[in-house]
Chain A
Amino acid sequence: MSAQIVPPGGATPPARHGLDPAFTDLPLIRLADAALAAATAAGAEFADFRFERLLTSTLSIRDTAVQGATDAQTTGFAVRVIVDGVWGFAASVVPTADEAASTARRAVQVARALAGVVDERVERADEPVHADLAWVSAYHIDPFSVAGQDKIALLLDRSERLLASDGVAHTQVGLFQVKENKFYCDTAGTSTTQQRVRLEPTLTATAIDSATGAFETMSSLTPPVGRGYEYLTDGSWDFDGEIAAMGEQLLEKMKAPSVEPGRYDLVIDPTNLWLTIHESIGHATEYDRAIGYEAAYAGTSFATPDKLGSLVYGSPGMHVTGDRTVEHGLATIGFDDDGVAGQSWDLIRGGILVGYQLDRTFAHRLGLPRSNGCAYADSAGHIPIQRMANVSLQPDPGGGSTADLISGIEDGIYVVGDKSWSIDMQRYNFQFTGQRFYRIRGGRLAGQVRDVAYQATTTDFWGSMDGIGGPQTYRLGGAFNCGKGQPGQVASVSHGCPSARFRGVNILNATQEAS
């Protein structure tokens, strides 16, 4: 097949790679034709066909030995249909035209079987037809082209250097890499082929005081990214500097005083704040949650549609965007799994809720003319659902540095790196820990404290934000493992944010919380 590789709208990067021939040589169009024809013949008023190939590689090194090395390829296809206003879905892995047609007929059968238990008919917002287009994410070195022994050597060297630090008893170094190919085709005429690459390097050191039974860990602040293998060596992240400092930071953490619980002013580093954004804004502004589609599982949202345009989410300087276009973003795409082109939009502006993340069904329901492109399925075996865009807190264009924010606190805590997280089913009450916590006294850092967890209610917390760092503090964090839906699906997502300052946040002592 040949598809035109184009930058579809927005800040899509120029393709540095073409589509993998190993993917495009698969019988994608033949299977799609068979499936869509069979679905139409069986009575579907709409059908789409999606073929997915997922390449993954997991390498883990513990101390000085390889603990696990696993490469995997997963392929399969799915047919989704609308029959008399009812969704039907079926998936298979057998790449033949007969099986594609049979799978389409099974999807139609499912829709018909459910006709008696469906009370609302599927209606969707329009989307222009995107015919025969391709999109490839921005990366330079395909991580799947790098020899296993080279990856092992790189990771082993990092593990050994960290292990040589005073006080480090054990290390765990890992690399998770993914290449995701999607071919999407529907009865409206859209046909897209995509290729995305992402990497998640991890690095953790453990210190142990065997006499007391105490132990502590410290993990790298490296975010997972939509980049190629170059991320590990090109200096875009300072791995060497981090490894050189981690041992001493861990020793200081082991010896640090336990925090006195109470209310503190906080400066939160982007390496921690991205996760708070993910949980308290990213999920809360998913429209499917807001109208109850996740009520039995992932939960709902306090940010319901009746509050759109009026809910005071946070302080007036709060500007949060959703996007599927930022370069190297983990949720960045050319087209979503509804065939909608990637876009960017506002979710919170001036501290007020102004938007949601949508797929085509929910856009129609909200009365909007177009989806903002948030349909996603994590594999051929799962039906697309509304998943998270890159949701990011924008910096203050005239904002200062992290040190400037710290200088505005007389007695507080500076929070660095993410660790434990939990939030309630309406996205109100959350609790987070971190990798490092520094006391702030008189506007300056005054050494680490330990056992810190911060706990707040979403709108109180964002309402207490009185300082937003400038663009120089802005970083993209993220995760590979955002879970949602039943059957459970995982998605990768990035969150950009600057450092920010919050007043009077409740700090718990994790040790005192235990009995």
Chain B
Amino acid sequence: MTGRAVGLLSPQRIVEAALGASVADGCVVVVNSSSSANIRWANNTVTTNGVARDLSFFVVSVVGGAAATVAGSASDAASADSVAAVVSAAHAAAVATSRLGPARDAQPLVEPGAGGADDFDDDPADTSFAVFDPLLAGLAEAFAAARSDGRVLYGFVDHDITTTYLGSSTGLRLRWVQPTGTLEVNAKSADLRRSVWSGLSTRDFAGPDIGTVLASLRQRLEWAKRTIDLPPGRYRTVLPPTAVADLMINLAWSAGAREAHEGRSAFAAPGGGTRSGERLTDRPLTLFSDPAAVGLEAAPFVVAGHSSDDVSVFDNGAPIGRHDFVRDGVIGSLLHTRGSAVEFGEPFTPTTDNLVLTGGAADRDIDALVADVDRGLLLTSQWYIREVDPMTMLLTGLTRDGVFLIERGEVVGAVNNFRFNMSPLDILRQAADVGATVPTLSREWSDWFTRTAMPPITVDGFNMSSVSPAT
């Protein structure tokens, strides 16, 4: 199947038309062609749903070391002239910006490396509503079973394929196809007093079976038949991989090198410099991103429409390799653009759209961690995580849809929900037991960050700050 849109220039022709029209010192063109399909359900029935096709592109124009971006959409992609109008607008914006001199992140545009992409001329990949065909039968059965068993199902399934084409005036021609799929299910008892959640990430929906997801939820709903009230406090808490992903994503998002060097992040060291090299834990925990991570493949080159502290439009097309945020329990390198790398005398360290935490016991899963807890909590899902104090990376959030009491290695019932206040750095510092790394989906960040592999972690002294009456 091809996602090429009839009536519009092809992505490759948009790239060449834009580069051909540019009179700037340098130019980068990025075209995104995407298609998506989704189904949402609540109260054992489908609610909203749909399919969509999209095409957009942006032009980065460089004038006198300054850059500006103008993005166009399908209406601008009907002809070479309409594409040229976007290029002209980008150039004018770059001229205006250049009056202040070169940008702080200014660098020569990236040159082609050896080899180069051999798929640039390929059409965009595509998805359609038919990707859910295997799932729909299972969903109908699940609704029927839920009605008869006194359960209520809510959830969402989404599939998107975006094909990115990147070309530059330096000769770069790159293409990347990114499939992204998620399946999330929330099951409640008929009285809505018991509630549990599970989700997964998939590239193609070839594997996921909604029945498997529901089976794990049934067990948790059974656990929740007994309820126990607990007060706020610091608890030994087992976090499954999804909850660990929620918190580690925040850590990765806070790992900018410029902020640390300038003394305005949790990675800033007193007296100047950064905390790179500081040991967080004696456990051999390694947190990294890697475009080649198996099953979590993500763009192997930089795509940036807007510069910030951590990304630069000048770096578009630069190769991305593995980046270690934490290496064997020690804070690794922080995120640099090429510009900030030069400014601070450190290597260029871009990151990609996945995250993996390793270093736990390969033969221990979440059940094994639970079995070794004498008294503590199992926190299966978190919600509304926000930064409270950037100096310590303190985050606040809520437990949701399943927090359970563990006694003598067994789950004995569901407890009330809590508001927690914890830093992801302290999750690593206070890790008492770490299991095997498995693919998982962060619930909190599943809109933006779906490619993660995490271990379950038992954390000592997890700060449950107050009780939430929510069920």
Interface residues of A (CB under 8 A from B): 26, 53, 58, 60, 62, 64-76, 78, 86-96, 98-99, 106-107, 109-110, 113-114, 116-120, 147-149, 152, 156, 169-170, 206, 208-215, 217, 291-297, 299-300, 302, 380-383, 385, 420-429, 431, 433, 451, 453, 455, 457, 483, 485-488, 506, 508, 510-511, 513-515
Contacts and interface: CB of A to CB of B under 8 A. Distances in A.
A510 B398 CA distance: 16
Contacts of A95: 7, 74-75, 78
Counting chain B residues whose Cβ lies within 8 A of the other chain, the interface size class is 35 or more
Contacts of A420: 386-388, 396
B293 interface: no
Given A117-B136, A215-B263, A453-B388, 13 more contacts: A69-B94, A70-B305, A75-B75, A95-B74, A96-B7, A110-B129, A148-B93, A291-B43, A296-B185, A299-B470, A424-B417, A425-B401, A455-B419
Interface of B: 5-8, 36, 38-56, 58, 66-76, 78, 89, 92-94, 96-97, 99-101, 103-105, 129, 136, 139-140, 143, 152, 154-156, 158, 184-186, 188, 192, 195, 197, 262-264, 268-272, 305-309, 313, 383-392, 394, 396-398, 400-401, 417, 419, 421, 423, 426, 429-430, 447, 461, 463, 465-471
A66 B53 contact: no
A434 to B, nearest CB: 12
A203 to B, nearest CB: 16
B45 A90 contact: no
A123 B94 CA distance: 52
Given A71-B93, A295-B188, A457-B469, A116 B140 contact: yes
A74 B447 contact: no
A115 to B, nearest CB: 9
A156 B97 CA distance: 11
Given A120-B45, A295-B188, A420-B387, A426 B40 contact: no
B66 to A, nearest CB: 7
Nearest to A431: B396
Contact of B50 (A76, A110, A212, A295): A110
Q: Most A CB atoms within 10 A — which of B41, B139, B398?
A: B398
Given A70-B68, A119-B44, A149-B96, A76 B262 contact: no
B308 A92 contact: no
Contacts of B430: 515
B263 A210 contact: yes
Contact of A68 (B154, B306, B463): B306
A67 B51 contact: no
B73 to A, nearest CB: 5
Contacts of B152: 292
A515 B70 CA distance: 45
Contacts of B184: 296-297, 486
A74 B73 contact: yes
Contact of B72 (A65, A73, A152, A169): A73
B389 A422 contact: no
A65 B270 contact: no
B100 A156 contact: yes
Contact of A424 (B75, B390, B419, B463): B419
Contact of B421 (A109, A215, A295, A514): A514
A429 B466 contact: yes
9 contacts: A117-B41, A152-B99, A299-B383, A424-B383, A428-B468, A429-B417, A510-B394, A514-B426, A515-B461
Nearest to B392: A514
Contact of B100 (A107, A152, A515): A152
B270 A88 contact: no
A169 B467 contact: no
Given A93-B74, A117-B46, A169-B263, A510 B388 contact: yes
Nearest to A513: B421
A72 B70 contact: yes
B268 to A, nearest CB: 6
B7 to A, nearest CB: 5
Contacts of B67: 69
A76 B49 contact: no
B6 A213 contact: no
A90 B51 CA distance: 5
Nearest to B307: A68
Contacts of B154: 292, 295-296
B103 A208 contact: no
Given A74-B56, A120-B45, A113 B129 contact: yes
Contacts of A110: 49-51, 129
Contacts of B305: 70
Contacts of A424: 383-384, 398, 400, 417, 419, 468, 470
Top 8 nearest A-B pairs by Cβ distance?
A: A89-B50, A93-B74, A72-B71, A213-B270, A119-B45, A426-B470, A429-B468, A296-B186
B262 A170 contact: yes
B428 to A, nearest CB: 12
B6 A91 contact: no
B465 A293 contact: no
B203 to A, nearest CB: 17
A117 B306 CA distance: 42
Contacts of B53: 91-94
A295 B42 contact: yes
A110 B47 CA distance: 12
A209 B263 CA distance: 8
A107 B263 contact: no
Nearest to B157: A486
Contacts of A513: 388-389, 394, 396, 421, 463, 465
B49 A213 contact: no
A138 B374 CA distance: 63
B143 A215 contact: no
Contacts of B466: 429, 455, 506
A340 to B, nearest CB: 18
A92 B76 CA distance: 14
Contacts of B94: 69
B48 A149 contact: no
A331 B69 CA distance: 28
A425 B49 contact: no
A95 B105 CA distance: 38
A206 B264 contact: yes
Contacts of A76: 54, 73-74
A429 B467 contact: yes
Nearest to B51: A90
Contact of A208 (B263, B388, B419): B263
B389 A511 contact: yes
Contacts of B461: 515
Contacts of A297: 156, 184
B398 A58 contact: no
Nearest to A64: B100
Nearest to A89: B50
A149 B99 contact: yes
B105 to A, nearest CB: 8
A455 B156 CA distance: 31
B391 A213 contact: yes
A117 to B, nearest CB: 5
Given A68-B306, A486-B156, A383 B48 contact: yes
Contact of B396 (A119, A170, A422, A457): A422
A424 to B, nearest CB: 4
Most buried by B among A68, A74, A214: A68
A69 B186 contact: no
Contacts of A511: 389, 392
Contacts of A431: 388, 396, 419, 465
